[in-house]
Amino acid sequence: MAQDMRIDMLDRLRMVMHALSGSPDESDTPELLVSQAVAAVGASGGVLGVVRDHLWIDVLTSRGYTSERVAAFNPLMVGSQFPLTDAVRTGEPVWLPTMEGVAARYPAFAERTRSEALAALPLLIGAETIGVLGITFDDGPHHFSSVEQSFLLTIADICASVLDRWRMGSAAVALRLPCARDLCNERAFRTRQAEGFALLAGRLGIARTTGEFSSAAIEHLPAVLDATAAFVGLIDDSADVMIVRVTSTADAGVLHRNGRRLLSDSLPWTDAARTNQAVYLSNSFERQRRYPRTEADAAALGAEAMAAVPLRNQRGRAIGAIGIVWPDPIEFGPALRSRLGHVADLRGKNAERALSFDRAHAAVSTIRERSAIALPSIAGLDVHAMRWTDSPDLLGCDFSAGLRLSDDRIGVIIGQVLGGAGGSAGDAAYLSTLLVAAMAQAVALESVADRALSLLKASETGPLTATVALAVIDTTERSLSYLNLGHPPLLVRRRNTNRTKILTDARYPLFGLPTGNVSAGQTSFDRDDVLVAYTIGLIEHATDSVDASVAQTAAALGTMHGSARQIAHALMGRRRAAGTMPRDATVTVIVGRSDPAGAAADGTPTIPV
């Protein structure tokens, strides 16, 4: 849904740009801009006002309002207390997502309207506010996403450009000045800038990790700000350093010098992050005077002017900085500073979300490393389990556990909680604990699922849905008992053969749902037999059916020999070599041994992986 919103807004911006390029006088452009702003965010109505004589705001066009409602606020005195007038006076946008916020800040406005959420955006040309764009929501609160804010700010910039061109055009006609070429060039620049901002907003809106955030920012920021290069640095509080990413076209020296910087370093971007204040360097003389250490980077990037603005979280604390490089001297007037501020504010929210995701992943990874799969040792069995997480931004929801039931019996549990990976890691650990507790108490495997379900229902966790496979190996009886609930089937390769038996190939109900008649089975498990329990991430199901992928994995197992560790590494290596490694994969291998020390002495695989 969020991706559809970004695509829709980008299409609307392109429609506006097409209209601008095809309209000789732009007389219908303000109405089009207001209509697109209202439609894109699902507002009830919108209005575009023009500042007259620095004292009044006149309504130029509106959408979705009755004539009586427009007349009640037309004209408005700039000195009065309304959302539109505040935006004009301060030059800053007003975002109010709830009716309570509207009433608290603008009681007179709230009494005269039924608006439950609103936004008012100034139209800035240099230091001058020449108008204002306002939209309202009458049917309920509306929390403005970063993508929506970026889109509306871009629409406001285009409105300001159109109104300013009207003023320029009128002056040119009066003075008989040939300004057509200048207007054409400005239009092209505004078009590039708006499209770049839309792309930037879209990319940052879907960035989950700090790596994705930094890559999107350094790729699109130069186009948005008509610059040549960009730096993005995020603070690592644990080490008082800043992790910096630089435009990919920079040479190796720039990348090497700026990959990791101490916050105490005297550089524009570290100063901006450390002091929470923007740094503006209009020309090379000022840059060399204040930051002589930037000379090598400036020479490599062809930089004349630089700016660094802090990235702030929602509490106003600096969590990093953006650095921008221009090839020519720059005058940092109010309009450019405002633009840099808007970019940094919006990007700060995206950066905070990415940092939170990274911290959550690190915490879960630490928990998982500390609770590494440790299966008990049983005389006559060689046991090994391993887990693979392919990407650092994925938390995973697999679980695996082992339980020593007696001197000659081992229980194995493997499964996967279904649903979003980010919300399932804790559920997986909890469910694994319940199943271990149930297996420790139950005699028959058929009772384990029932006991675990009873414990789950008695808890306050809420419903969980998972796939689960359970197995018990008895070395005295040389038997394997198993039960499968919606999980990929267990595999057993018989001793001294290349044949692998696929257990529980029927489809059973998922754990967490009414189980009905749960089927369980039993087969022999002798010396040199191999049991493989795994999650669906181990099989190649990207293009083939699950059944076909299971059959392929079973065939591959028939060619693998060695210790449990060697076979586990070989299976995981086979998946990695296929190039389709999924988010998470877990495998448990048990090999029947006459000598439990039969594994490789150094624990390293002898099978190529």
Total domains in the chain come to 3
Higher pLDDT, 309 or 210: 309
Does residue 533 lie in a domain region?
yes
Q: What is the pLDDT of residue 122?
A: 92
Question: Per-residue confidence at 463, pLDDT binned at 50, 70, 90?
Answer: low
- pLDDT, average across residues 110-123: 87
Q: Name the E strands within 284-317.
A: 305-312
Q: Do 322 and 407 share a structural domain? A: no
CA 543, distance to chain mean position in Å, is 26
Nearest by Cα to 455 from 469, 440, 443? 440
Higher pLDDT, 414 or 220: 414
Task: Give the CATH number of the domain where residue 513 resides.
Answer: 3.60.40.10
Q: Do 173 and 129 share a structural domain? A: yes
End residue of a domain, out of 370, 400, 421: 370
pLDDT, tens digit (0-9, with 9 covering 90-100), for 291-309: 988 888 888 888 889 999 9
CB neighbour list of residue 37: distance below 8 Å, 6 or more residues apart? 43, 46, 133, 135, 151, 152, 155
pLDDT, tens digit (0-9, with 9 covering 90-100), for 472-512: 999 999 999 998 887 888 999 988 777 888 886 555 566 66
Q: Which DSSP symbol is given to 355?
A: H
Q: Do 258 and 156 share a structural domain? A: no
Q: Is the pLDDT of residue 193 over 90?
A: no
Q: Do 331 and 443 share a structural domain? A: no
Q: Is the pLDDT of residue 539 over 90?
A: no
Nearest by Cα to 235 from 168, 341, 317? 317
pLDDT, tens digit (0-9, with 9 covering 90-100), for 549-605: 888 888 889 888 889 999 998 888 887 776 555 557 888 888 988 654 444 333 333
Q: Do 364 and 379 share a structural domain? A: no
End residue of a domain, out of 324, 355, 370: 370
Q: What is the pLDDT of residue 207?
A: 59
Sheet containing 128-137: order of strands: 76-77, 56-63, 45-52, 128-137, 117-125, 94-96
Percent above pLDDT 70 for the chain: 68
Does residue 431 lie in a domain region?
yes
- pLDDT, average across residues 208-232: 75
Q: What is the pLDDT of residue 452?
A: 76
Q: Give me the domain span that covers residue 298.
A: 225-370
Q: Is the pLDDT of residue 78 over 60?
A: yes
pTM here is 0.43
Quote the mean pLDDT of the chain.
Answer: 75
Range in 94-103, 205-214, 429-438 with the lowest mean pLDDT? 205-214
Percent above pLDDT 90 for the chain: 11
Does residue 263 lie in a domain region?
yes
Q: What is the pLDDT of residue 94?
A: 92
Q: Do 303 and 175 share a structural domain? A: no
Q: Is the pLDDT of residue 177 over 50?
A: no
CB neighbour list of residue 330: distance below 8 Å, 6 or more residues apart? 282, 283, 304, 305, 307, 336
End residue of a domain, out of 206, 241, 260: 206
pLDDT, tens digit (0-9, with 9 covering 90-100), for 16-75: 665 554 444 455 678 888 888 888 888 999 999 998 877 888 888 888 888 888 888 888
Does residue 598 lie in a domain region?
no
ω into residue 75 within 30 of 0, thus cis? yes
Task: Give the CATH number of the domain where residue 299 resides.
Answer: 3.30.450.40
Q: Do 396 and 386 share a structural domain? A: yes
Does residue 608 lie in a domain region?
no
Higher pLDDT, 59 or 200: 59
Question: Per-residue confidence at 161, pLDDT binned at 50, 70, 90?
Answer: confident
Q: Do 124 and 239 share a structural domain? A: no
Q: Do 6 and 154 share a structural domain? A: yes
Q: Do 383 and 356 share a structural domain? A: no
Range in 76-90, 186-200, 238-252 with the lowest mean pLDDT? 186-200
Does residue 609 lie in a domain region?
no
Long-range contacts, 11-18 (Cβ 8 Å, 24+): 12/36, 12/39, 12/40, 12/151, 13/151, 13/154, 13/155, 13/194, 13/195, 13/198, 14/195, 16/155, 16/158, 16/194, 17/191, 17/194, 17/195
Q: Do 181 and 97 share a structural domain? A: yes
Does residue 603 lie in a domain region?
no
Does residue 245 lie in a domain region?
yes
Q: Do 480 and 354 share a structural domain? A: no
